[in-house]
């Protein structure tokens, strides 16, 4: 009996189950902790590595329509299985039925998604040991396997603390930009103006359509547009202060500060004061604390806060009363 045909052990079956569970759309923190505890046993760790290797072999065959059809059929309960009258050979059959086939299929096509509501932040530990801090109104999709670690930032902003693994690059895609790291801390934000990457620790490579790659060092950022990526210096601690629940403004135009504060509010702030919209503001505010920001802006710029239908508040120039 060859190595690929050995019967699956209990650890192999548990590994297949974990692989499928970690590929589901929702993975709890408790489940991840249980997985890390399970993987501390050497036999289980080896079984999980075999699972990743089998996953890679399935990935190499994903373009074969016969294999695709076979995997789909394998995932459906039937009294008899038919593969279109074609004999696919023992090697391929072993990939599907050697104790882990259906689990591999589930993980290959499944991706884990995480999201936050407006005003919510979330800390996530991925199965590889990396951490993600998801900002307000944000959404990511994660796929981890033996060949690589891929995250797609679908909306909003996220801070990544990447576990070092030279064998499996960690990439984050957002719009037309791709950020590649091996072990580092960086922030990615996606908006209608493009994608911004801020490097806190380590080194990352930023790829953007329409321009050359940019390699960032700590306290650098890259803003990507259709013309490519442009690197520039930045205070990374200030730029990522949102991860601690703080919004730090340093010489920030009032209109821009209002827009940033509004990202954390369901009931927004409307600025109707053209004369001071470009005047800069500096200060630190707790994310989601509308009252503190409105009070500070009103005092600094002689503005009046007017409640609006639906819960919004409008800042307008303070009216001077006649004596």
90's CB contacts (< 8 A; 6+ apart) are 5
**Residues 132, 71: one domain?**
no
**Residues 37, 78: one domain?**
yes
**Does position 216 have pLDDT exceeding 50, yes or no?**
yes
**Residues 300, 201: one domain?**
no
Number of domains in the chain: 3
From 217, 286, 276, select the one nearest 252 (Cα to Cα): 276
**Residues 155, 222: one domain?**
yes
**Both structure tokens of 291:** 């009252």
Instruction: Tell me whether residue 322 is in a domain.
Output: no
From 135, 134, 160, select the one nearest 288 (Cα to Cα): 135
Instruction: Tell me whether residue 323 is in a domain.
Output: no
C-alpha distances out from residue 220 to 75, 173, 198, Å: 47, 19, 6
* Domain-terminating residue out of 56, 86, 109: 109
Instruction: Tell me whether residue 30 is in a domain.
Output: yes
**Both structure tokens of 131:** 């951490």
Burial category of 2 from C-beta neighbours within 10 Å (exposed 0-12, middle 13-18, buried 19 and up):
exposed
Quote the crossing angle between the two packed helices 101-109 and 65-74, to the nearest 10°. 110
Q: Name the phi and psi angles at 250, rounded to 5.
A: -135, 100
266-291 average pLDDT score: 95
Q: How many residues does the chain have?
A: 323
Tell me what pLDDT residue 322 has: 46
* Domain-terminating residue out of 109, 132, 150: 109
With pLDDT > 90 as the criterion, what percentage of the chain qualifies?
49
Quote the crossing angle between the two packed helices 10-22 and 42-60, to the nearest 10°. 60
Q: Give the lowest-confidence range in 7-16, 55-64, 254-263.
A: 55-64
DSSP string, 193-220: TEEEEEEEES-EEEEETTS--EEE-TTE
**Does position 85 have pLDDT exceeding 50, yes or no?**
no
Q: How much is the pTM?
A: 0.67
Instruction: Tell me whether residue 158 is in a domain.
Output: yes
- Structural domain harbouring 170: 115-238
How many other CB atoms are there within 10 angstroms of residue 248's CB atom?
17
Distance from C-alpha of 172 to C-alpha of 161, rounded to nearest angstrom:
12
Distance from C-alpha of 111 to C-alpha of 154, rounded to nearest angstrom:
13
Mean pLDDT of all residues in the chain? 80
**Both structure tokens of 31:** 């489940």
* More confident site: 98 or 8: 8
203-229 average pLDDT score: 86
Tell me what pLDDT residue 281 has: 94
**Both structure tokens of 173:** 């895609």
Instruction: Tell me whether residue 53 is in a domain.
Output: yes
Give the pLDDT band of residue 107 (cuts 50, 70, 90): very low
Tell me what pLDDT residue 59 has: 53
196-222 average pLDDT score: 90
Pairing state between β 177-181 and 185-191: unpaired
pLDDT in tens, 16-65: 778 777 765 456 666 777 887 888 888 888 888 887 776 655 555 545 55
Burial category of 3 from C-beta neighbours within 10 Å (exposed 0-12, middle 13-18, buried 19 and up):
exposed
Number of H helices, E strands in the chain: 9, 18
Range with top average pLDDT, 100-104, 105-109, 149-153: 149-153
**Residues 211, 284: one domain?**
no
Pairing state between β 204-208 and 112-115: unpaired
**Residues 124, 214: one domain?**
yes
Give the pLDDT band of residue 14 (cuts 50, 70, 90): confident
Tell me what pLDDT residue 3 has: 44
* More confident site: 272 or 44: 272
Give the pLDDT band of residue 212 (cuts 50, 70, 90): confident
**Does position 239 have pLDDT exceeding 60, yes or no?**
yes
Distance from C-alpha of 24 to C-alpha of 94, rounded to nearest angstrom:
24
Name residue 174's beta-bridge partners.
Answer: 177
**Residues 133, 230: one domain?**
yes
Give the pLDDT band of residue 235 (cuts 50, 70, 90): very high
**Residues 263, 227: one domain?**
no
235-242 average pLDDT score: 94
Note whether 198 and 177 are within 8 A (CB): no
**Residues 268, 213: one domain?**
no
Give the pLDDT band of residue 112 (cuts 50, 70, 90): confident
Range with top average pLDDT, 51-65, 71-85, 179-193, 300-314: 300-314
**Residues 89, 164: one domain?**
no
* Domain-terminating residue out of 208, 238, 268: 238
C-alpha distances out from residue 82 to 76, 102, 126, Å: 11, 16, 38
Give the pLDDT band of residue 272 (cuts 50, 70, 90): very high
Pairing state between β 122-125 and 131-134: antiparallel
CATH code, 298: 3.55.50.30
């Amino acid at each position: 009996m060859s190595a690929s045909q050995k019967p699956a052990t209990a650890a192999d079956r548990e590994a297949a189950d974990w692989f499928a569970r970690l590929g589901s759309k929702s993975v709890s923190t408790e489940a991840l902790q249980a997985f890390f505890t399970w993987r501390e046993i050497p036999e289980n760790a080896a079984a999980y590595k075999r699972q990743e290797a089998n996953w890679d072999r399935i990935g190499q065959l994903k373009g074969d329509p016969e294999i695709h059809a076979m995997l789909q059929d394998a995932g459906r309960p039937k009294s008899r299985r038919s593969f279109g009258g074609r004999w696919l050979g023992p090697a391929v059959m072993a990939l599907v039925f050697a104790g882990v086939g259906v689990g591999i299929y589930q993980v290959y096509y499944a991706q884990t998604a995480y999201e936050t509501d407006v005003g919510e932040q979330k800390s996530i530990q991925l199965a590889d040991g990396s951490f993600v801090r998801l900002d307000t109104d944000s959404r990511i999709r994660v796929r981890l396997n033996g060949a690589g670690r891929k995250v797609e930032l679908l909306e909003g902003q996220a801070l990544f603390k990447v576990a070092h693994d030279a064998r499996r690059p960690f990439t984050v895609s957002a719009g037309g930009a791709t950020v590649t790291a091996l072990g580092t801390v960086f922030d990615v934000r996606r908006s209608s103006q493009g994608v911004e990457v801020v490097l806190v620790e380590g080194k990352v490579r930023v790829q953007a359509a329409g321009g050359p790659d940019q390699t960032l060092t700590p306290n650098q950022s890259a803003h990507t547009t259709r013309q490519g990526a442009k690197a520039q210096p930045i205070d990374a601690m200030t730029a990522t202060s949102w991860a601690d629940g703080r919004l730090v403004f340093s010489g920030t135009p009032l209109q821009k500060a209002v827009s940033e504060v509004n990202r954390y509010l369901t009931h927004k702030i409307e600025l109707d004061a053209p004369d001071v919209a470009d005047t800069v503001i500096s200060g630190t505010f707790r994310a989601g604390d509308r009252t503190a920001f409105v009070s500070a802006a009103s005092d600094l710029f002689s503005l009046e806060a007017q409640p609006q239908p639906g819960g919004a508040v409008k800042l307008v120039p303070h009216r001077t009363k006649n004596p």
